[in-house]
Amino acid sequence: MKILTVVGARPQFVKAAAVSRILREEHTEVLVHTGQHYDERMSEVFFRELGIPEPDYNLEVGSAGHSVQTGEMLIRMEPVFLQEKPDWVLVYGDTNSPLAGALVASKLHIPVAHVEAGLRSFNREMPEEINRVLTDHVSELLFCPAQKAADNLKLESVTSGVHVVGDVMYDAVLRHSVAAEKNSTILTSLELKSEQYLLATVHRASNVDDTNKLLSILETFATLGETVVLPVHPRTRKAIETAGVTLGKNVKLVEPVSYLDMLWLEKNARMILTDSGGVQKEAYWFGTPCITLREETEWVETVEAGWNVVVGTRRERILNAVRDVSPPAARPNLFGDGTASQNIVRLLESERK
Ligand code: UD1
Ligand code: UDP
């Protein structure tokens, strides 16, 4: 079986690494990197650390507005798909890269398999929500991390090819946590002590491109009275520089960290404040309480379990959550048992046309 995998942005490298390892035991994988993320710390470091093979194609699309970026991906992908003639095109998550991969494949009548299908924020102003809906609706195999995602698809009358397989990011956390503990020196190099700092990430367009929201978040961090480690996404660094924000003395702004360093930072943080999708789940798996700096989340299971509080970007709400959050002792397996990648490969094999 020949699988063409499309990746392009940081979270996809983590997800694809988990599946690719199993896929390549018995099948051929052609890896296409759209080039959506290209800084060494946003891309290459993940390939190195997670042992992902060199991409067979790097389309070097780079940064641009949504239409230009997605359009360039479409233009540059089509000849690759035509030449490679894969049995499946495999796409991950909700960025512009999987949408482009899914569109090109479906127009060429190559079946699409979508990992992390069925996630919904029900906020159509999020570019990711549009990407998710469109990708799901042209996919033949839809791999859901949990039952709720399959229920979301049912509400849109998507029922064929839907499988609840678990979350490949959980597979990745289980696989790499030991290496993170053994190899990461991030706590020493940032002079941090376990449980004595907060970890934050902010990159969502709605938070970063709106200067008032970004200011509200960063000014609130400055008043938290404890160390806040902020590995900064390039989008956010640019916005901070443009707005001329002065950060609180307690805020440690650092370059984006590698995956293993990030896992170790997450595990040892007293609490995590984030607008990331993946980081909310990783917080849950490590048993680190999470505060989500958005008005809604796709990962509602973590909220229902009492480990994640969705607060938006207003100062009072963030401060109250940091003060009051107190998760229960129980942390059930919400997103499978760490075998999502195996489940996906078996289904690709059995559903092959
Ligand atoms: C993208 C995804 C978002 C995902 C995030 C993961 C879309 C619409 N958004 O957001 O869903 O959560 O990736 O991190 O696909 N930049 C660099 N170097 C890089 C990459 C980006 O400097 O290697 C800067 C550029 O100024 C660029 C900006 O970051 O314009 C935004 O990058 P882009 O890939 O468009 O969106 P993300 O914010 O990364
Ligand atoms: N991540 C990382 N270094 C960082 C920030 C995030 O390795 O500095 C990892 C994080 O652990 C998770 C993934 O990147 O596995 C999430 O990516 P991101 O937050 O950019 O995207 P989202 O999940 O919101 O789409």
Give me the catalytic one of 33, 37, 176, 203.
203
Return all residues near 266 (Cβ < 8 A) that are at least 6 apart.
199, 272, 279, 282, 283, 286, 288
Longest dimension (CA), the chain: 59
Q: Which residues contact 71 (CB under 8 A, 6 or more apart)?
A: none
Kindly give the distance from the C-alpha atom of residue 116 to the centroid of ligand 2, in angstroms, as a whole number.
Answer: 15
| Nearest Cα residue to atom 4 of ligand 1 | 95
95 Cβ below 6 A of ligand 1: yes
Find the residues whose C-beta lies inside 6 A of ligand 2. Answer: 10-11, 14, 201, 203, 231, 256-257, 259, 262, 276-279, 282
Residue having the nearest C-alpha atom to atom 11 of ligand 1? 95
The residue type at 242 = T
- What is the C-alpha separation between 114 and 58, in angstroms, rounded? 21
Supply angle C-alpha 121, 236, 228, rounded to 5.
Answer: 90
**CATH T-level assignment (fold) for domain 2-167+336-350:** Rossmann fold (3.40.50)
Atom of ligand 1 nearest to the CA of 94: 11
Cα separation of 183 and 1, whole Å? 36
Percentage of the chain beyond pLDDT 90 is: 99
**pLDDT at 352 (0 to 100):** 83
Question: What angle (nearest 5°) sits at the alpha carbon of residue 287, between those of residues 282 and 289?
Answer: 85
User: What is the pTM assigned to this prediction?
Assistant: 0.98
pLDDT of the residue at 38: 98
Task: Report how far residue 42's alpha carbon sits from residue 188's, in angstroms, rounded to the nearest whole number.
Answer: 22
Distance CA 351, CA 353 (A): 6
Contact 106, 85 (CB under 8 A): no
Q: Is 203 a catalytic residue?
A: yes
Question: Tokens 């960063």 sit at which residue?
Answer: 218
CB 50 within 8 A of CB 13: yes
Closest ligand, as measured to the CA of 127: 1
Long-range contacts of 302-311 (CB under 8 A, 24+ apart): 302/334, 305/330, 305/331, 305/332, 305/334, 307/283, 307/331, 308/280, 308/283, 308/284
Ligand 1 touching residue 35 (CB < 6 A): no
Residue ranges of the domains in the chain?
A: 2-167+336-350, 178-324
- List beta partners, residue 228: 198, 251
Q: Is 203 in the pocket of ligand 1 (CB under 6 A)?
A: yes
DSSP states of 173-233 as a string?
A: HHHHHHHHHHH--HHHHTT--TTSSEEEE---HHHHSSHHHHHHHHHHHHTSSS-EEEEPP
Q: For residue range 118-166, what is the model confidence (pLDDT) as tens digits? A: 999 999 999 999 999 999 999 999 999 999 999 999 999 999 999 999 9
Contact 125, 40 (CB under 8 A): no
- Which residue owns the Cα nearest ligand 1 atom 15? 95
Looking at 2.160.10.10, 3.30.420.40, 1.10.10.10, 3.40.50.2000, the CATH number of the domain 178-324 comes to 3.40.50.2000
Atom of ligand 2 nearest to the CA of 231: 8
The 10s digit of each residue's pLDDT in 252-294 is: 999 999 999 999 999 999 999 999 999 999 999 999 999 999 9
2-167+336-350 matches 178-324 in fold:
yes
Q: Which mutation among 45, 73, 99, 233 tests ligand 1's pocket best, with the greatest number of atoms within 8 A of CB? A: 233
Walk along the chain (353 residues) and give the pLDDT tens digit of each residue.
999 999 999 999 999 999 999 999 999 999 999 999 999 999 999 999 999 999 999 999 999 999 999 999 999 999 999 999 999 999 999 999 999 999 999 999 999 999 999 999 999 999 999 999 999 999 999 999 999 999 999 999 999 999 999 999 999 999 999 999 999 999 999 999 999 999 999 999 999 999 999 999 999 999 999 999 999 999 999 999 999 999 999 999 999 999 999 999 999 999 999 999 999 999 999 999 999 999 999 999 999 999 999 999 999 999 999 999 999 999 999 999 999 999 999 999 999 86
Identify the pLDDT of residue 157.
98
pLDDT at 353: 67
Nearest to 234 by CA among 260, 266, 252, 256: 256
203 CA → ligand 2 middle, Å: 10
